[in-house]
């Protein structure tokens, strides 16, 4: 009856059945590798057919052995999102011991089509094993939809939308990343931002919370939310790639087998078991053309956009050595942060200070605004000066042609100084500063002489006595001043409550959810200042109770409570921008009424 066990444990010498019970303790002390089979390695992927932008999991698993290292040289065709993570397990089934060691990665294909994960070198113990190659097929979203595959995988995906794929160098491209989901999302975070080599970028929209909108795509209903929007300006020509944006999201798993999120209480805050997934947007290629060489102005400096230019010289007639201001204003659409002031050819006898530049960006997805350049000019001799015409050449991509905006020329009439025939020395700025330090004026008039050696109580001794009294009394004065300030602080805060809250309301801008958040903060700050508290949040009942105790009318109480209710609802559901703006104006008016009715 022991013959099968003898065959498994046979070596160079045989083991007698009658003595096997005596050898069992020794067998348990033997190394595990001496009684297990040879290590076996395999590469396992979660999906062999995926949709563009979808990640998958690859696991290198070794049975009856422990992995020491895995070569990643063959994974160049994939982006490594996470990993490697390691795990080890031991199982005993019917007396047979099996150990498993594994390395796991989350991978994202870099391009569509059939991709091969080649044989990977796995070091186990003192030997090197190799996995079998694995083929992955990456389908486009359109191909996957026509093939009828990937339905479950397309329940959550990320898309990069580019407003234009063919532009001139320096022209704006707006890129928006939108999350599509048919499942409840419990949370999200950006794992990796795109590497936008060859672009100058500016952030347009980066929400803290998802603002969901319903949308139908290819007959299927989704909830969509923009997770990031940027403005990019290509700085070089050719084919430029907008790299993928990678998100890590929490998907709430449903307890029931069939559940329609659009008719069964869809909510991004729905509780339940959460599954973490990684989604990525497909890479987008943009074709960037250089600005044409035909009809290019000789003084063109690479500016692209749509601009206007104006100038003003004030005053136009001055006396020698008096200051004059030349103001140039550029406005329009384009990359204002990299826009340099147009050159001005000033006459030699005009001393020009470094310009002061102010920029005011415009609000919206199209980058633009205005830039003001102010030159301070000092004429050093009497004459009539002509400041030549100022030119701003640029390329207009909409019209596909070069345009030049001009202002000037400017005429400056400088009158001579009238100083008894003595002309101005015409010092430079540094020389004037040095003269101010070197010249010492001589006091005119009859001097008053004082006799020395008279009396013992001199002015120096008087000053010393006063300083001693102040030094000894300083601690008492400081303590007294602090007590007075502390006693007056609650009254001062209550007096400033309305102005502080109104300032917060006036500065509230952005998306409706952000505006409502500021409105809630304004009301909280108002109540804290009036009551001398430091409460982080008030409930609806707290607001009604506090306002009632201070004599505020029920009608105004109800308006405040309704605004707070809409602010709370804005956290979970979309709100129109017009409603937020209406409540913003209403809160300012009702706070003024509350201030007039407030009783101590």
DSSP 8-state assignment for residue 304: B
> How distant, in Å, are the alpha carbons of 214, 221, 281, 308 from that of 156?
14, 12, 11, 46
What six digits make up the tokens of 177? 């990343």
280 shares its domain with 367: no
What pLDDT shows up at residue 478? 67
Q: Is residue 449 part of a domain?
A: no
Query: Would you give per-residue pLDDT tens digits along the chain (600 residues)?
Result: 333 333 333 333 334 444 445 444 444 444 444 445 678 888 888 888 887 777 788 888 888 888 888 888 878 888 787 778 888 887 777 767 778 888 888 888 877 788 888 888 888 888 888 888 888 888 876 665 555 544 445 788 888 999 999 999 999 999 999 999 888 888 888 888 888 888 999 889 888 888 888 888 878 888 899 999 999 999 999 999 888 888 888 887 765 444 444 444 444 444 457 778 888 888 889 999 999 999 999 999 899 999 999 999 999 999 998 999 999 999 999 998 888 889 999 998 899 999 999 988 887 889 999 999 999 999 989 999 999 999 999 999 999 999 999 998 999 999 998 743 434 444 455 444 343 344 444 444 555 555 555 555 566 667 877 777 777 777 766 666 666 555 545 556 666 778 888 888 888 887 777 888 888 888 888 888 878 777 767 777 788 888 888 888 888 888 888 888 777 766 655 556 667 788 888 888 888 888 888 875
Residue-number span of the structural domain to which 110 is assigned: 34-141
Contacts of 57 (CB under 8 A, 6+ apart): 45, 46, 104, 105, 106, 107
285 shares its domain with 160: yes
Cα 565 to Cα 585: distance, rounded to the nearest angstrom: 16
Cα 519 to Cα 561: distance, rounded to the nearest angstrom: 12
26 shares its domain with 47: no
Element (DSSP H or E) covering residue 444? none
Cβ neighbour number for residue 549 with a 10 Å cutoff: 9
Cβ neighbour number for residue 278 with a 10 Å cutoff: 20
CATH of the domain at 572: 1.20.120
Task: Name the domain count of the chain.
Answer: 5
| Whether the Cβ atoms of residue 556 and residue 593 lie closer than 8 Å to each other | yes
Backbone angles phi, psi at 473, to 5 degrees: -90, -5
64 shares its domain with 157: no
Q: Is residue 474 part of a domain?
A: no
283 shares its domain with 205: yes
156 shares its domain with 279: yes
| Whether the Cβ atoms of residue 228 and residue 216 lie closer than 8 Å to each other | no
This prediction has a pTM of: 0.54
Q: Is residue 465 part of a domain?
A: no
Q: Is residue 179 part of a domain?
A: yes
> How distant, in Å, are the alpha carbons of 10, 406, 408, 410 from that of 388?
105, 10, 7, 7
What pLDDT shows up at residue 447? 57
Q: Is residue 574 part of a domain?
A: yes
111 shares its domain with 158: no
Q: Is residue 438 part of a domain?
A: no
What pLDDT shows up at residue 507? 84
Backbone angles phi, psi at 177, to 5 degrees: -105, 120
What pLDDT shows up at residue 578? 67
**Which residues share a beta bridge with 136?**
115
157 shares its domain with 263: yes
310 shares its domain with 271: no
CATH of the domain at 210: 2.60.40
Q: Is residue 178 part of a domain?
A: yes
> What is the SS3 assignment for 15-81?
CCHHHHHHHHHHHHCCCHHHCCCCCEEEEEECCCEEECCECEEEEEEEECCCEEEECCHHHCCEEEE
285 shares its domain with 159: yes
Radius of gyration of the chain (CA): 39
Last residue of a domain, one of 415, 440, 467: 415
284 shares its domain with 158: yes
Last residue of a domain, one of 119, 141, 163: 141
Q: Is residue 188 part of a domain?
A: yes
CA quadruple 451, 454, 455, 460: dihedral, nearest 10 = 40
498 shares its domain with 562: yes
């Amino acid at each position: 009856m022991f013959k099968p066990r003898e065959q498994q444990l046979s070596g160079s010498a045989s083991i007698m059945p009658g003595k096997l019970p005596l050898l069992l303790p020794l067998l348990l002390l033997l190394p595990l590798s001496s009684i297990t089979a040879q290590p076996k390695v395999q590469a396992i992927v979660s999906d062999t057919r995926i949709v563009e932008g979808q990640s998958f999991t690859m696991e290198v698993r070794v049975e009856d052995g422990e992995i020491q290292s895995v070569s990643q040289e063959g994974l160049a065709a994939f982006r490594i999102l996470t990993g490697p993570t390691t795990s080890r397990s031991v199982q005993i089934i019917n007396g047979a011991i099996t150990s498993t060691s594994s390395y796991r990665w989350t991978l994202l294909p870099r391009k569509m089509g059939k991709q091969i994960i080649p044989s990977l070198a796995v070091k186990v113990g003192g030997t090197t094993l190799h996995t079998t190659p694995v083929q992955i097929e990456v389908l486009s979203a359109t191909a996957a939809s026509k093939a009828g595959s990937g339905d479950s995988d397309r329940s959550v995906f990320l898309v990069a939308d580019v407003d234009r794929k063919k532009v001139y160098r320096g022209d704006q491209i707006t890129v928006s990343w939108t999350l599509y989901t048919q499942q409840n999302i419990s949370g999200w975070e950006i794992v990796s931002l795109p590497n936008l080599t060859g672009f100058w970028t500016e952030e347009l929209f980066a929400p803290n919370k998802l603002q969901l909108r319903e949308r139908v795509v290819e007959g299927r209903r989704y909830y969509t939310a923009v997770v990031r929007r940027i403005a990019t300006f290509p700085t070089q020509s050719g084919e430029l790639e907008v790299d993928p944006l990678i998100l890590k999201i929490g998907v709430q798993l449903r307890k029931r087998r069939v559940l329609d999120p659009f008719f069964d209480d869809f909510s991004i805050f729905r509780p339940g078991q959460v599954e973490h997934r990684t989604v990525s947007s497909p890479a987008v290629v943009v074709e960037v053309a250089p600005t044409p060489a035909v009809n290019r102005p000789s003084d063109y400096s690479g500016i692209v956009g749509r601009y206007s230019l104006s100038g003003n010289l004030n005053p136009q007639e001055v006396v020698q050595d008096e200051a004059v201001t030349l103001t140039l204003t550029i406005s329009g659409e384009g990359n204002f942060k990299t826009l340099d002031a147009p050159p001005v050819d000033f006459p030699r006898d005009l001393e020009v200070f470094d310009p002061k530049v102010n920029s005011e960006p415009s609000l919206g997805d199209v980058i633009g605004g205005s830039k003001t350049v102010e030159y301070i000019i000092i004429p050093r001799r009497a004459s009539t000066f002509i400041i030549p015409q100022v030119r701003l050449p640029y390329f207009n991509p909409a019209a596909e042609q070069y345009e030049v905006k001009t202002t000037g020329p400017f005429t400056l009439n400088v009158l001579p100084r009238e100083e008894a025939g003595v002309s101005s020395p015409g010092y430079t700025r540094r020389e004037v500063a040095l003269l101010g330090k070197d010249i010492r004026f001589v006091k005119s008039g009859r001097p008053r002489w004082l006799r020395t050696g008279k009396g013992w109580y001199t002015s120096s001794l008087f000053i010393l006595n006063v300083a001693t009294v102040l030094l000894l009394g300083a601690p008492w004065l400081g303590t007294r001043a602090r007590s007075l300030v502390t006693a007056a602080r609650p009254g001062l805060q209550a007096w400033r409550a309305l102005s502080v809250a109104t300032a917060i309301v006036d500065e509230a801008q952005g998306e409706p959810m952000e505006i409502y958040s500021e409105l809630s903060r304004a009301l909280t700050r108002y109540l804290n200042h009036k009551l001398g508290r430091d409460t982080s949040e008030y409930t609806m009942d707290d607001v009604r109770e506090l306002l009632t105790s201070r004599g505020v009318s029920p009608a105004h109480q109800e308006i405040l409570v309704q605004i707070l209710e809409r602010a709370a609802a804005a956290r979970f559901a979309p709100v129109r921008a017009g409603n937020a703006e209406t409540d913003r104006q209403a809160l300012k008016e009702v706070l003024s009424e509350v201030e007039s009715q407030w009783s101590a």
